[in-house]
Structure 1
Amino acid sequence: MSFADTDSDHSIGALMSDCCFCYTTDKYYFLPTLLSAAQARKNISTGKADVLIIGFDFQNNEESMLREVAKNLGVSVQFHDRREIRDLPIYMARHFLDQLLSNTYTNIIHIDGDTQIYASIDPLIQAPLPSGRIFAAPDPMALLFGEPDRLSLKTTAYLHSIGLPSNIAGRYINSGVFRVARSDLKAIDLEIQKQCEKNLPKYFFTEQDAMNVAFGDSISLISMKWNYPAFFEFFEYDFIESEHIKHFMSNPRPWHGPFMPWGKAAHSPYVDMISAHPQLRNYYRPMSKRTVARYIVQQRVKKFMDSRIWKTKSIARKIREFEKHAAV
């Protein structure tokens, strides 16, 4: 599919760079999003990109405080009305960026807030992006595609059920981190909105499914180090270069507690942020003790059960191939 040129008159902030490294969030995810954004600012060279949080569903009396906290961390925050994304779920906000971002941004990277950033983002910002292409990393489902175990068979059947041919299903991407050129953004946004409007009831992974269906053959795969599934820590894939961006894709997440496999190393930054900025405490929703106890047990069982799937030679071979041919 070819992309149309686009322009936007909606400016949301002063420009320092032509690249925007941006997040979309609501109150529930603001604390982890701010932590990730602060880590991004530390790992992006000055002038390479602006770090921006686009927030929805905040009250007027919250906005100035949150802007000030974020400003002290080198992060910009802009607030919008949910009606600007047609009152759709917050996960759809990432596909209204053409309307929300200043038209002076020509290089766009969107990232989920349930991430932590450990190393320089500069290479992802600077890598040449061919016209009409999207940069995104393979999702773990791409690794399961075509494998013989029960989970993989279920995954393979699902990917086929949403209309993905085998060559696209086998490289199914995760939309938690993606980079696009501004000249392609409007066409991407509109097509994904269209796909979701028509097919959302059958999309279990919502807009991510839509992105794969609409643009699977226009996606250039990047290394999984740019969108590293946190549960991979259970299995120690040494052939993935150091994880630059770690993505906590499902509950429990590190702000919930020091669970396996990340432990205190990933949990402590949230505690430290609240300690340094007590006014953020209202944006933290702790789990009940019963839920914490359940997840402690669940994570231990998960490591044992999943090792039979994720530690196979076939999975390792697929990861090596993805990494060998990664665009960046």
Structure 2
Amino acid sequence: MGQKTAIIFVADRNFLVPSILAMLQISRQKDTMSVSDLFLFTTDLNSEDFQTITNIAKNHGIKTINLDLNKVLNEDQSLSFRKTHISISALGRFFTGSYIDSKYENILYIDGDVQVVGSIFDLANADIPDGKILGVIDRQFLKAKERDKSGVKTREYLKNIGVLHEKDYFNSGILAAERKTWINLCKEAFDYFINNSEGCMFHDQSALNAVCVGRRLPMSPKYNFTTMFAENNVLDIVQPSIIHFTGAEKPWFSKARPWRGRFMSSYADLLKQFPQLEAFYSLREYFHSSGQSGLSKIDRHANRMWFLTRILTPWRIVLRRRRLVNYLKTKQFFI
């Protein structure tokens, strides 16, 4: 009996090192690998660099695929892509399904800015209903109920993409679906993005949420423990298997809260193990793609927002955590 699930990562040059680290963490899970294979899609490497990555990956059971975005993204299409720390390679996920052999029942997509700290066997081995996708609530779940300008903007955003209740909006960093469902939903989402790119504030995530209304099954944040959950101090309640570092403060360079540099050493250790990866570890390129001027600016901004929230609106911290804890206690998760 073959592997059930294809676990896929999509990475441009800036996210190759963290993606490889996360994939190696998965590769050490014997139970997960008994039902899964790992696939790394690269989006912007020349043939020499792709071979370098392939040589590292193949020794750890990771299959590499060169995804040429210039071919799959029609140059005649005029797309609006809001400048953030996210690059246009995020759209690459929409084209991955056709590269995955039909022998795999499921696709489990994972962003590269994660650390896998516990078993994901149950997720990799899940029996997912046809036509459904598994995902975890995102920050909009908390912001949409608030009465400030950010809350108003959040509600307008959700309404514009057809999401009627904030609990139905999901983070796109970790998703799971049957292979055929994944292909169909990704095609729908890309078509939506082409026609509505200016309204897709969060790029591929916005498009996926727009087309998946009524088709998303709630997944436990154990498998996508975003920065939102860490900020609201629910680590002990959730006990995550995948920590997802959302926002611009990535753990391979940032010492900002809530993690304060806790994971930085693991990336340094990876570079010692594979010094050839140094060529793919340019923080300067990350700054350029994110519109940031440097490490200190990213951390200063994050820490400033942390303090301002707690000084100017301390009630918000209490209410957000209360709402999140209540959700965790009362929600029935598919997995």
TM above 0.5: yes
Task: List runs of 5+ in structure 1 lacking aligned partners.
Answer: 1-14
Q: Hey, what does 1:316 align to over in structure 2?
A: 322
Aligned counterparts of 1:145 and 1:231: Cα–Cα separation in 2: 14
Q: Which amino acid aligns with 2:125?
A: Q
Report the residue type matching 2:317 in the other structure.
K
Shift in Å, 1:248: 1.2
Identity percentage of aligned residues: 23
2:275 maps to which of 272, 278, 284:
278
Q: What's the counterpart of residue 99 of structure 2? A: 100
Aligned to 1:47: 34
The residue that corresponds to 2:244 in the other structure is: 247
TM-aligned CA deviation for residue 218 of structure 1: 0.6
Deviation digits for residues 18-43 of structure 1, max 9, x if unmatched? 21111111212111111111112223
* Contact persistence 1:234–1:303 (CA under 8 A): no
Q: Which amino acid aligns with 2:156?
A: A
- Residue 252 of structure 2: SS of its match in structure 1? helix
Q: Check if 1:71 corresponds to 2:71.
A: no
Structure 2 match to 1:326:
333
Structure 1 residues 237-246 or 138-147, which shifts more? 237-246
What do residues 66-125 of structure 1 show as CA deviations (whole Å, max 9, x unaligned)? Answer: 112122333222223224422583111111122221222111000111111100001112
What is the SS of the residue equivalent to 1:216? Answer: coil
Distance 2:323 2:30 in 1: 32
Residue of structure 2 aligned with 1:303, choices 291, 306, 319: 306
- Aligned to 1:102, the other structure's residue is in SS state coil
Name the SS of the counterpart of 2:213 in structure 1: helix
Equivalent residue number for residue 20 of structure 1:
6
Deviation per residue, 1:132-155 (Å, 9 max, x gap): 211011111122222223322321
Match of 2:258 in 1: 261
Report deviation, 1:235.
Answer: 3.1
Describe the superposition over 1:235-274 as per-residue Cα deviations: whole angstroms up to 9, x where unpaired: 3125642111111111121112433322343111111111
Q: By how many angstroms is 1:198 displaced?
A: 0.7
The Cα shift of 1:206 comes to: 1.4
- Pairs within 5 Å for 1:179-194: 179-194=176-191
State the one-letter code of the partner of 1:298: H
Q: CA deviation at 1:160?
A: 1.6
Letter matched to residue 304 of structure 2: V
> Cα distance 1:47–1:142, how it changes in 2: closer, same or farther (>3 A)?
same
Q: In 2, distance between residues paired with 1:90 and 1:64?
A: 19
Distance 1:217 1:240, change over 3 A: farther
Aligned in 2, Cα 1:73/1:98: closer, same or farther, shift over 3 Å? closer
CA separation in 2, counterparts of 1:250 and 1:207? 15
Distance in 2, matches of 1:295 and 1:26, equals 21
Matches of 1:96 and 1:156 in 2, distance apart?
A: 30
Distance 1:126 1:52 in 2: 17
Q: Which amino acid aligns with 1:269?
A: S
Give the CA deviation at 1:179.
Answer: 0.3
Once residues 325 and 149 of structure 2 are traced to their aligned partners in structure 1, the CA distance between those partners, rounded to angstroms, is 20
- Contact map agreement 1:227 1:246 (CA 8 A) in 2: yes
Aligned pair 1:145/2:144, yes or no? Answer: yes
Instruction: Single out whichever of 79-88 and 34-43 deviates more from structure 2.
Output: 79-88
Matches within 5 A, 1:226-245: 226-238=223-235, 240-245=237-242
Pair 1:224-2:221 in alignment: yes
Instruction: Give the deviation of 1:309 after TM superposition.
Output: 6.9
Residue pair 2:232, 2:321 contacting (<8 A) in 1 also: no
Change (3 A) 1:138 1:43: farther
Is the CA contact (8 Å cut-off) linking 1:239 and 1:320 kept in structure 2? no
- What letter corresponds to residue 56 of structure 1 in structure 2? T
Q: CA RMSD in A?
A: 2.4
Partner of 1:7: none
For 2:174 and 2:325, the matched residues in 1 are separated by 18
1:302 to partner: Cα distance: 2.3
CA distance in 1, matches of 2:46, 2:72: 17
Number of residue-to-residue matches in the alignment: 312
Match of 2:290 in 1: none
- 1:85 aligns with 72
Q: Distance in 1 between matches of 2:62 and 2:4?
A: 16
